[in-house]
Amino acid sequence: MIKWMYFLQARILQMFNKYDRAIELFHKALEEDPDFALVINCLGHLHASLKQLPEAEKYFKEALRIAPNDAVTYFNLGYVLEAGRKFEEAISNFQAAVERSPKNDRAWYGMGLCHAELGRHEQAAEALAKAGEIQPLSPYPWYHLGMAYHTLGERKKVAEVIAHLKTFDPKITRKLEADTALPETEEAN
């Protein structure tokens, strides 16, 4: 019971940006229960928000040791790995997240971004299309999907993405149109 008291106090302190004290209380909760996966996840989130990526990675991996089927933790680890530019490992964790929770649009999105960073634009397009299918009114997967199609030279698909974006986000539509515009000499051909 005392572990929950420490946990709740730490979460309140975290909400008020009292991170050092929150970390202390999370650790006190872990002294009571070293396998308290929720606390370990919170420590991962806290360190990620502080841009302390190695620490966040360590906590998320520890949480997965305790709860190896938690899709959210796989996503969180993938996010931290992506931020640390460990794209292959991030993709593996995003994949594990979508295997456990196929409608996790953020994991599909992260996977798509990582594939794009590695120059694998076909795989990026597949993952980003899935993210867009799950969240049809989220402009960012659609923008990056349009960019993947642009890189692949698939103008018709870029036009389809632009047409979809126009229905709900004019600002991102304009950005995609500008970023995928062909030079005038190419358009004339």
Over the chain (189 residues), the average pLDDT of each successive run of 10 is 95 95 97 96 95 97 96 97 98 98 98 98 98 97 98 97 97 96 52
Structure confidence at residue 184 (pLDDT): 45
Query: Considering only CA atoms, which of 69, 62, 13, 11 is closest in space to residue 37?
Result: 62
Structure confidence at residue 49 (pLDDT): 93
| b/e code 103-116 from CB counts within 10 Å (16+ = b) | ebbbbbbbbbbbbb
Structure confidence at residue 1 (pLDDT): 85
Structure confidence at residue 149 (pLDDT): 98
Q: Is 123 exposed, middle or buried (0-12, 13-18, 19+ CB in 10 A)?
A: middle
Provide the token pair at 118.
């590695």
CA 19 – CA 88 distance, rounded (Å): 31
Structure confidence at residue 82 (pLDDT): 98
Structure confidence at residue 182 (pLDDT): 61
Query: Considering only CA atoms, which of 158, 99, 150, 109 is closest in space to residue 129?
Result: 109
